[in-house]
Structure 1
Amino acid sequence: MNIQNKLSLTELESLLKSDNEQELIEALMYAVFNIDESRWIQAKCHELIYSDKSLNIKGLAITCLGHVARIHGAIDKNITIPLLIKLSKDQDLSGRASDALDDIEQFVKNKDIIR
């Protein structure tokens, strides 16, 4: 699958529930770079992080939270920051969580983010 057409949120919702890892990766990347609803994207990333999907998918969802901060200059600090801090202690996901926290610190306008 190679997404070339504009997708609706409904279409993305369906693709983000796919069991096909490549479809899911492409849908998540499409959402991050083409959808202008940062809260919706964050919610989808959180769902994937808490899902039973592979570490690859969870790691990408974490990275995408950093992309949201960079692209939109905003993040839901009350939900995303505690989640990333928790994940920064996870052996498999700590590097990506730390990178996402760094992106948030660098790109979110409100600089009172505490680790």
Structure 2
Amino acid sequence: MTSQDSAPFDRVWRTELLAVIAHGSVDQATQALLSLTFDDPDGAWVESVLLDCLDGDFDDQVKLLALTCFGHLARIHGVIRNPRTVMQVKRMARVPGFEGRAQDALDDFETFL
């Protein structure tokens, strides 16, 4: 656990970003995902948001960025907590158009975990 993992967070800020991810434009949603990934201290919670993006009815650009963000989480926090994450990223590595980003995330897992 890093010192970031125990830092306080702003619930209103999270709620606003989740609303943008769910209802904003693709550009707004991707910016919100990046903000959560880089600025939210709770990597496990962000991981669950990213999983929701892969599972949900989101634009492919949002899903592609979610894959990239998994790699950032591994680098920033040094851990992936949800066992489903690696399984989902491996699944996405078999989906046409997502293979490269998913493999990049898997490579980041190998490097940083």
The TM-score normalised by the length of structure 1 is: 0.83
What runs of 5+ residues in structure 2 fail to find an aligned partner? 1-9
Q: Provide the alpha-carbon RMSD of the alignment.
A: 1.5
Distance 2:41 2:109 in 1: 17
- By relative contact order (CA 8 Å, sep 6+), the higher-ranking structure is 2
Distance 1:103 1:15 in 2: 27
* Over 2 Å off, 4+ runs: none
Written as runs of structure 1 = structure 2, the 5 A alignment for 1:1-115 is: 8-76=13-81, 78-108=83-113
Distance 1:105 1:77 in 2: 16
- Percent of counterpart pairs with the same letter? 31
For this pair of structures, how many residues does the alignment match?
A: 103
Letter of the 2:105 counterpart: A
CA contact (8 A) 2:47 2:82 kept: no
The TM-score normalised by the length of structure 2 is: 0.84
* Post-superposition CA distance 1:2-61 (Å, at most 9, x none): xxxx86222222222124111111110111111111111111111111112111110000
- Aligned-pair CA distance for 1:76: 2.3
